[in-house]
Amino acid sequence: MNRKAGVLAGIALAAAGGVLLAPALGIVSLSDLKTVPVLWEIRVPRTLLAFLAGAGLSLAGMTFQAMFRNPLVEPFTLGVSGGAAFGATAAIRLGWTFSVLGVSSISLAAFVGALASLILVYALAMARKSFSPALLLLAGVAMSFFFWSLILFTQYMSNFSESFRILRWMMGGVETVGFNAVLDVLPFVLSGSAIILCYSRELNMLAAGEDLASSRGVSVGPVRALLFTASTLMVGGVVAVCGPIGFVGMICPHICRLLIGTEHRFLAPATLLFGGLFLVACDTLARLIIAPAELPVGVLTALLGGPFFIALLLRRPVGGSSFT
């Protein structure tokens, strides 16, 4: 218990350090920044956006992994990011500009797309009465193909500049000017993670098996619906602004489980903080690696995530249901 609290405190310190340090790094040195508005207009909002996106995607990944009892699922591999991306693309293409209670139509469309995709995958798993990793991954792949082809179709129907914008956005990135994008993502990540942190005990029990959770007094149906909604809220909110950044939701919870165990009262805050830190670090690297040009951070996470995914696949039998 004390060791876990120590690890959590360490991750929190590292996250705070990363968020403070990242804006100071870049080709324009900090001393020159006083004369140009790079720091507050670009680097600070970008760091905050990266933190929120990483935190939201990681926590959503952790929640999906617990509920499907499968360490390989995450928003990207389940096809939830694809659904969100299609929702957002459709909203952009249709030229929707309205907002509901300050939430943009693009974010709402992304949320609806994410939810639709998740419901389809879940319904398929229930129909086959199996949460086997292989089945879920295949369902996720099918879902992704389906939504990507819809996105490609939308892109094909767009003019050249729209088409390029969609393509660039699909690579995933957190570059932004000013705090508007941060404020667009914040309510989604805040509300989603608040729900998940409050339900970490229920998440433990669901990870141990739905039958056991039910026999211990968890109202599995409503709790599951609430947790799915909370995670898709975060995925939708993040993907609408940053595009589908892949594999963060698989890498971060996995590393955190190795550091702190699966007890979600510790794992959930650890994943939230570590996920934020991870994407801030990746984005800083993506800014510096081919400076003065920049790499979209989604490309970098995918480059890291691919081998990581394969390593996880090799370590376990795909047909088995073990979950660590």
Partner 1 sequence: MTEPAVSVERYSLRLGDREVLRDLTFSIPAGDWTALIGPNGAGKTTLLKALLRILRGGRGGIRIAGVPLDSYSQFDLARRLAYVPQGEGRSAPFTVREMVEMARYPHRGPLAPLRPEDRSEIDRALQETGMSGFSSRSMDALSGGERQKALLAAALAQQSEILLLDEPTAFLDPSQQADVLGVLGRAHREKGMTIVAVTHDLNEALTHARRVIALREGAVVFDGPSADLTSGDVLRRIYDHDFVIGTHPKTGRPVLFPE
Answer whether the bond into residue 45 is a cis peptide, omega within 30°. no
- Smallest separation, CB 265 to partner 1 (Å): 10
Please state, in angstroms and as integers, the Cα–Cα distance from residue 188 to each residue in 9, 83, 136, 322, following that order: 25, 17, 26, 31
Among residues 111 and 266, whose Cβ is nearest to partner 1? 266
Name the residue nearer to partner 1 (CB basis): 16 or 126: 126
DSSP 57-101: HHHHHHHHHHHHT-TT--TTTTTHHHHHHHHHHHHHHTT---EET
Pairing label, strands 99-100, 103-104: antiparallel
Of the candidate residues 7, 152, 261, 294, the single one contacting partner 1 (CB under 8 A): 261
Q: x-or-dash pattern for partner 1, window 153-172, by CB under 8 A?
A: --------------------
- Nearer to partner 1 by C-beta: 178 or 209? 209
Window contacting partner 1 (CB under 8 A); options: 158-166, 230-238, 255-263, 286-294: 255-263
Q: End-to-end alpha-carbon separation of the chain, Å?
A: 19
With respect to partner 1, which residue has the nearer C-beta, 236 or 269? Answer: 269
- Interacting positions 199-228 with partner 1 (CB under 8 A): 201, 204-205, 207-212, 214-220
Decide whether 102 or 217 has the Cβ nearer to partner 1.
217
Using CB under 8 A, count the residues that bind partner 1.
Answer: 25
d(CA 161, CA 181): 21
Closest approach, Cβ 194 to partner 1, in A, equals: 12
Three-state secondary structure call for residue 113: helix
CB of residue 121 vs partner 1: minimum separation in angstroms? Answer: 21
- Tracing tokens 């109202």 back to the chain, one arrives at 219
**Contact yes or no for 252/271 (Cβ under 8 A):** yes
**Chain positions contacting partner 1, by CB under 8 A:** 198, 201, 204-205, 207-212, 214-220, 257, 261-263, 321-324
